[in-house]
């Protein structure tokens, strides 16, 4: 059986203590693409094209005044954060991410 996916809440001191959610055991090729697809399907969000860099890739997903950044970084792996960094949107991101992680784990356990 594969390791269960989970996430941890981090405060990034290099980005003004930005609240980030780091996803563990999610080492999948194009993982942020899959997460963007799920955010769009489940929460009716829109996604920008993926920006690919040398050390990181990211996709912005958004709806109304909410914008999340889904990022893969070579040193960290997959992480997400709310662009606005307000308490309401960050709590909403954590709730949505928790539901998606449960869904992914459920799908993985069936295979």
Domain regions of the chain by residue span: 7-83
Read off the pLDDT of residues 23-62 as tens digits, 9 standing for 90 and up: 998 877 688 999 999 999 999 999 999 999 999 999 999 9
The CATH architecture one would assign to domain 7-83 is 2-Layer Sandwich (3.30)
Backbone angles phi, psi at 41, to 5 degrees: -70, -45
Contacts of the segment 75-80: beta carbons below 8 A, 24+ positions apart: 76/22, 77/22, 77/23, 77/24, 77/26, 77/27, 78/22, 78/23, 78/26, 78/31, 78/32, 78/35, 79/10, 79/20, 79/21, 79/22, 79/23, 80/20, 80/21, 80/23, 80/35
Distance CA 24, CA 86 (A): 24
Backbone angles phi, psi at 20, to 5 degrees: -130, 150
Tell me: pLDDT of 1 over 60: no
């Amino acid at each position: 059986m594969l390791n269960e996916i989970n996430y941890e809440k981090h405060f990034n001191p290099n980005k003004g203590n930005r609240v980030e959610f780091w996803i563990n055991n999610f080492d999948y090729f194009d993982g942020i693409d899959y997460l963007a697809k799920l955010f769009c399907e489940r929460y009716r969000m829109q996604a920008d094209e993926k920006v690919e860099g040398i050390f990181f890739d990211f996709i912005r997903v958004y709806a109304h005044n909410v914008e999340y950044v889904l990022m893969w970084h070579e040193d960290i792996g997959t992480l997400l954060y709310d662009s606005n960094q307000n308490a309401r949107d960050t709590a909403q991101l954590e709730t949505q991410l928790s539901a998606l992680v449960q869904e992914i784990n459920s799908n993985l356990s069936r295979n």
